């Protein structure tokens, strides 16, 4: 292994380390399946709570049966399930108040209704790296491509800002998140043992990432999955 240092980064790249904000901008993004909006506690909290607490769900003429919210959504999250709307609101407010993160509500365009949340978080503009995390979706979003398109929209946005690395991490036991990361093109980097204590239990964390140099290939992969009939999307 050589001990030679890599060449200095360009002035344009280094300039972004001082201009990107510590708290990510509350951006709105729209695709063919989903719309991402900055989380608004006044209008988003109650509908998000109602689709994530295990109660039967009805949106327009569509209905979904009751479910186990721990198994379906919250088991590997740092909090939840929530027994009251007030508890859920406190959980979301903590994310809204984070100095290095911003929660976004994911809407289904077909339903015109919230279906989950994703956070732009663990932001280190000085190193041009950021994370997509604290992601959850109601069972009503399963097998709709919502997570894939929301992730695609955010990756495209973040790399356009000049980030060099976007991270994804999950509990090693969270098979759904693990598989989703790999299917969407994130590269597995390893396991950090005893990384957190969550809900009174030790958590080992699996780390994934996409680098700026990999984005063109990953973008093509995601577009082929999301828009197979639109090769020039």
**Model confidence at 232, in pLDDT bands (50, 70, 90)?**
low
Please compute the mean of the pLDDT values over residues 150-161 and round it to a whole number: 98
Would you state the structure tokens that stand for residue 4, as one six-digit string?
């030679």
Which residues fall within 8 angstroms of residue 117, CB to CB, at 6 or more apart?
A: 39, 48, 92, 95, 103, 104, 105, 106, 134, 135, 136
Instruction: Show the domains of the chain with their CATH numbers.
Output: 11-56+65-226 (3.40.630.30)
pLDDT at 2: 76
Identify the H or E element spanning 115: strand 113-124
Residue labelled with tokens 């989903």: 34
Whether residue 80 is predicted with pLDDT greater than 80 in this model: the reply is yes
**Model confidence at 229, in pLDDT bands (50, 70, 90)?**
confident
pTM of the model: 0.96
Average pLDDT, the chain: 96
Whether residue 167 is predicted with pLDDT greater than 80 in this model: the reply is yes
Q: Could you tell me if 208 and 187 are in contact, meaning their C-beta atoms sit under 8 angstroms apart? A: yes
pLDDT at 3: 84
- 38 forms beta bridges with 104
């Amino acid at each position: 292994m050589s001990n030679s240092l890599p060449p200095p980064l360009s002035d344009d790249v280094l300039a972004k380390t001082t201009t990107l904000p510590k708290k990510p901008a509350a951006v709105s993004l729209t695709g063919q399946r989903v719309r991402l909006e900055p989380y608004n506690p006044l209008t988003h909290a109650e509908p998000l709570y109602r689709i994530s607490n295990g109660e039967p769900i009805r949106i327009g003429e569509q209905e979904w049966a009751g479910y186990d919210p721990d198994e379906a959504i919250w088991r590997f999250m740092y909090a939840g399930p929530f027994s009251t709307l007030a508890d859920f609101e406190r959980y979301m407010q903590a994310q809204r108040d984070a100095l290095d993160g911003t929660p976004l509500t994911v809407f289904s365009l077909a339903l015109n209704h919230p279906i989950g949340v994703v956070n732009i978080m663990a932001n280190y503009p000085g190193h041009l790296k950021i994370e997509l995390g604290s992601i959850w979706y109601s069972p009503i979003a399963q097998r709709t491509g919502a997570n894939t398109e929301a992730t695609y929209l955010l990756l495209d946005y973040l790399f356009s800002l000049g980030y060099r690395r976007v991270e994804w991490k999950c509990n090693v036991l969270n098979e759904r998140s693990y598989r989703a990361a790999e299917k969407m093109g994130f590269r597995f980097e390893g396991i950090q043992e005893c990384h957190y204590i969550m809900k009174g239990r030790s958590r080992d964390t699996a780390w994934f990432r996409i680098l700026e140099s990999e984005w063109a290939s990953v973008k093509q992969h995601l577009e082929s999955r999301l828009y197979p009939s639109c090769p020039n999307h």
